[in-house]
């Protein structure tokens, strides 16, 4: 296998999470024809921001393809509490796809595959190939992937600093390899996964600091000093074991894209100009034309 350039770096973007954040973060923005454009505008701004920070050789936006059937079988109301996507946001997704295509940015979505799992798979593949990996998402499920080559870039974090292993421990109280067990104990409200009653994030971190893992905890359950905690852990063992399966990212998915197909492509500036005109993004249109003039002048 050929050696990988030390500068090879992939930016993996949580597509729907970015679109939702853009949609709710910007209000009352529409095109000259009256179509909503707030999600499009915010999405583009976030892409530009993270590409400028990360300087990736490869960029991919990963979209949810629906719920994983296995998880729904394990927990019938898995993610069931989530509201339907707003109509004004849904109509903007195809436009975002058009922007990605014109910008030379890969986009991945497969039916029945959750974005989290595909992101996890791509992360591990890229890491094994010698890439540095930047995951752009605020989802704590990705904390389990963090190591010296993989970092999380949280769009909610105004510091602009990526989360490394130490940052994960500061945030949660546990190391990245303990995140699955930590979430299995505390649950995950965002995914409608219930935790152990009475076991909050700090208590779970304290337990894992003492016992190391859920497996070790249940082997040494008699060492849990507080009666209520021990009783709750006994009563919830089957839920905790189920939760381990639910929150562990699935890395053995079919149809995994080749990393070479995720290399940043050339911008179609003509198509981008048409899109910016259609959406009424005057500043972006002016910047694009100015950049094109600069290139022509340099030539």
Q: Each residue of 170-194: pLDDT tens digit? A: 999 999 999 999 999 999 998 999 9
H or E element at residue 9: strand 9-14
Residues 294 and 270 in one domain: yes
Q: Which residue, 247, 271, 286, sits at the end of a domain?
A: 247
Residues 139 and 93 in one domain: yes
Mapping DSSP onto H, E and C, the string for 29-51 reads CECCCCCECHHHHHHHHHHHHHH
**Residue 171 counted as domain residue:** no
Q: With 60 as the cut, is the pLDDT of residue 4 above it?
A: no
**Residue 213 counted as domain residue:** yes
Q: How many domains does the chain have?
A: 2
Residues 34 and 78 in one domain: yes
**Residue 1 counted as domain residue:** no
Mean pLDDT of the chain: 93
pTM listed for this prediction: 0.93
Q: Each residue of 197-251: pLDDT tens digit? A: 999 999 999 999 999 999 999 999 999 999 999 999 999 999 999 999 999 999 9
Domain encompassing residue 191: 176-247
**Residue 264 counted as domain residue:** yes
Residues 47 and 103 in one domain: yes
Q: Each residue of 257-288: b (16+ CB within 10 Å) or e?
A: bebeebbbeeeeeeebbebbeebbbeebbeeb
Residues 138 and 217 in one domain: no
Q: Which residue, 215, 232, 247, sits at the end of a domain?
A: 247
**Residue 154 counted as domain residue:** yes
């Amino acid at each position: 296998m050929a050696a990988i350039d030390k500068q090879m770096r992939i930016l993996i973007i949580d597509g729907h999470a970015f679109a939702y954040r853009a949609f709710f973060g910007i209000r009352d923005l529409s095109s000259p024809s009256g179509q909503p454009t707030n999600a499009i505008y915010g999405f583009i701004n976030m892409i530009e921001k993270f590409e400028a920070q990360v300087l990736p050789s490869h960029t991919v936006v990963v979209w949810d393809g629906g719920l994983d059937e296995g998880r729904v079988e394990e927990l019938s109301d898995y993610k069931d509490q989530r509201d339907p996507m707003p109509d004004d946001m849904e109509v903007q997704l195809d436009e975002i796809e058009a922007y990605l295509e014109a910008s030379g940015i890969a986009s991945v979505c497969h039916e029945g595959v959750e974005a989290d799992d595909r992101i996890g798979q791509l992360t591990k593949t890229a890491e094994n190939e010698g890439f540095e990996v930047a995951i752009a998402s605020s989802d704590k499920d990705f904390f389990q992937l963090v190591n010296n080559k993989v970092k999380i870039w949280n769009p909610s974090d105004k510091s602009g600093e990526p989360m490394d292993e130490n940052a994960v421990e500061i945030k949660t109280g546990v190391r990245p390899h303990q995140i699955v067990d930590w979430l299995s104990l505390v649950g995950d409200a965002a995914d409608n996964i219930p935790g152990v009653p009475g076991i909050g994030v700090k208590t779970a971190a304290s337990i894992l600091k003492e016992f190391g893992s859920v497996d070790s905890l249940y082997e040494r359950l008699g060492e849990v000093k507080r009666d209520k905690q021990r009783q709750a852990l006994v009563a919830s063992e089957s839920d905790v074991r189920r939760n381990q399966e639910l929150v562990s990212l699935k890395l053995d998915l079919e149809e995994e894209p080749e990393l070479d197909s995720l290399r940043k492509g050339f911008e179609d500036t003509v198509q981008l100009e048409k899109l910016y005109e259609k959406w009424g993004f005057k500043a972006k249109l002016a910047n694009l034309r100015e950049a094109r003039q600069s290139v022509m002048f340099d030539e």
